[in-house]
Structure 1
Amino acid sequence: MKAARYHGAKDIRVEETSIPSVNKNQVKVEVKYVGICGTDLHEYLHGPMIIPMKEPYPLNGHCGVTTMGHEFSGVVVEVGDDVHSDRVKPGDRVVVEPIFRNPDSVFTAKGEYNLSEPIGFIGLTGNGGFAKYAVVEDYMIHKIPDSVSFEQGALVEPAAVAVHAVKTSDLQLGMYQYPAVRSFSL
């Protein structure tokens, strides 16, 4: 399959790579849409900042050339043996929550895995969605209804970041007189 792979600053190559296989707790997604995040741009221009090029990422051992892309949607094509069919199955339309969870973190135990260390993301500290197929941990998968397009699905992750920022900011409607803020509603 073809994938856009990071080799270093200002060095992303579209190249042939093997189709990834799943382990018992993973899901293979056929990527339909993928976004380019500001983090991807910064990594391309000034990196490596996040992508582990010299030492393996501790949660999965990933190191070196990396298929980027963490904002994506697609269709499940394969699941590992321990992935329950009531959770996700082939044919499901999905988006990916790209955060690697540290199973030993107290934050993960409290459901606040986004605060755990080390923090890592599909497409940065593990291969991501700038490819025909991506393999992710089963806990990263969220089903989307047919009414949500794959294009919209690729925007779920950045939209979730924005909504979380507004919710945690104590921002109140009318607090500032900027049209984007004044008209924002949840």
Structure 2
Amino acid sequence: MKAAVWYNNKDVRIEDKEIKNVKENEVKVKVAWSGICGTDLHEYEIGPILIPVDTPNPITGEKAPIVLGHEFSAIVEEVGEQVTNVKKGDRVVVNPVITSGKHDARVDRYYEFYSHGLHTDGSFAEYVVTKAENLVLVPEGLPLDKAALAEPLSVSAQAIKEGQVNDGDNVAIFGCGPIGLFAIVAAKVSGAKNIYAFDLSDERLEKAKQVGATHVLNTRDTDAVAYLKERHPEGVDASFEVAGVKPTFDAAIASTKPKGNVVVIAIHARNFEFNPVQLMLSGVKLSSSLGYEHATFKESLDILMNEEIDFSPIMTKKIDLDNLVEEGFHSLSSDLSQAKILVKLSGEL
């Protein structure tokens, strides 16, 4: 099968890859669409970050070269003899993260896990073999290209849960890349009254407005904290740090009310100094959110079916697998108007 294989940073090759055998509790799926994640981009540009190179992953026993990709929709091609939850021909999305199952479902992902596209072969390929329990049926009427958004949407939906966003809440989103845009969507679905979106890119802010932000502000021109405190002197109910830099981290804390929630979603590429007194004096509750619960992954399909939400501003481009590097990775790095680029595999809808 054709696949995009990661060998090292700036070294991703489109080549022929052998398809793995299907075990009794596994399923082989024919990939329809696969989204490019920031994780994929980071592994290409500055990796290895999460991909094992010298020492194999302790669960999968695999190391680079690895097929990238973990946001995908597919058609079931073959099922193992013990599989009963899906059948050949079913339209599915795949939760790419496999946990041990030894801990509470709310925290299991924080112990041992492995992921397609990082620790075992992923979805920038014609076929993927995966655990049957990680498949979720795609509702009738939801196209498979749109269904491929389920995984990144789940990341943001889980963070909104962690932030305890309720009806009527005032929410601030710092950073309007794809995960920030999905956070706006999830906050809207959770009933937030005012959703403030901040970024340095006018193109991204326009998308934020299109998907549900009630107020957008370019922080190159205006101070976000002053802007929020003028409207909400006590602070907003919850804020979400999705940019991954110290200024937005500080702004999220400073603009949130005492006992409000600040949730870090972004992966911070660089360390920075932080005085805990800043947190103590603010009275906010600081937390982080990584990944999602499987229940949230399922719920993301319901959000995608919501006809009141326009996801088209997030789905900015579709490309062929052969063009993954030039039209995918390079485009995301240089063009701020890009959000979620989908890679066409079978292209079925």
TM-score, structure 2 length as denominator?
0.48
SS of 1:100's equivalent in the other structure is strand
State the match for 2:53 in structure 1. Answer: 53
Q: Which residue of 2 aligns with 1:97?
A: 95
The residue aligned with 1:76 is: 76
* Partner of residue 25, structure 1: 25
- Is contact 2:32-2:75 (8 Å) kept? yes
**Quick check: 1:8–1:44 contact (8 Å CA) kept in 2?**
yes
Contact 1:97 1:141 in 2 (8 A): yes
The amino acid across from 1:140 in the alignment is: N
CA distance in 2: counterparts of 1:72 and 1:115, whole angstroms: 19
1:111 matched residue in structure 2: 105
CA distance 1:176–1:111, shift in 2 (3 Å): closer
**SS of equivalent to 1:6:** strand
Q: Can you give the 5+ residue segments of structure 1 that lack an aligned partner in the other structure?
A: none
| Structure 2 counterparts to residues 145-164 of structure 1, below 5 A | 145-164=139-158
Match of 2:16 in 1: 16
SS state at 1:111 partner:
coil
Alpha-carbon shift at residue 174 of structure 1 (Å): 4.1
Specify which structure has the higher proportion of helix: 2
Q: How many equivalent residue pairs?
A: 179
Distance 1:95 1:147 in 2: 14
Q: Distance in 2 between matches of 1:156 and 1:114?
A: 20
Task: Determine helix, strand or coil for the equivalent of 1:91.
Answer: coil
- 2:188 match: 184
Higher RCO structure (Cα 8 Å, ≥6 apart): 1
CA distance in 2, matches of 1:115, 1:177: 26
Q: Report the CA distance shift for 1:39/1:177 in structure 2 as closer, same or farther (over 3 A).
A: closer
The alignment status of 1:37 with 2:37, answered yes or no, reads: yes
Cα-to-partner distance string for 1:141-164 (whole Å, 9 max, x where unaligned): 111122111111110011111111
- Distance apart, 1:118 and its partner CA: 2.4
Contact 1:101/1:113, CA 8 A, preserved across alignment: no
Superposed displacement of residue 36, structure 1: 0.2
Whichever residue aligns with residue 97 of structure 1, its letter is N
Q: What is the DSSP-based 3-state SS (H/G/I as helix, E as strand, rest coil) of the residue aligned with 1:163?
A: helix
For residues 16-73 of structure 1, the C-alpha deviation after alignment (integer angstroms, 9 at most, x for no partner) is 1112221111110100000000011111111111111111111121112001110000
CA contact (8 A) 2:31 2:74 kept: yes
TM-score by length of 1: 0.88
- Select the residue among 133, 146, 149 that pairs with 2:127: 133
**1:2 and 2:2 are equivalent in the alignment:** yes
Are 1:175 and 2:173 counterparts? Answer: no
The root-mean-square deviation of aligned C-alpha atoms, in Å, is: 2.0
Q: Secondary structure at the match of 2:158?
A: helix
Contact 1:20 1:133 in 2 (8 A): no
Q: For 2:146, what is the secondary structure of its paired residue?
A: helix
Counterpart contact for 1:127–1:134, Cα < 8 Å:
yes
Question: Which letter does structure 2 place at the counterpart of 1:94?
Answer: V
Give the whole-Å Cα distance in 2 for the aligned partners of 1:27 and 1:11.
Answer: 29
SS of alignment partner, residue 42 of structure 1: helix
Unpaired runs of 5+ in structure 2? 174-180, 191-349
- Equivalent residue letter for 2:170: M
Q: Distance in 1 between matches of 2:107 and 2:169?
A: 32
State the Cα deviation string for residues 57-112 of structure 1 (Å, max 9, x = none): 1112111200111000010000111212xx01111100000112114x3x2xx223
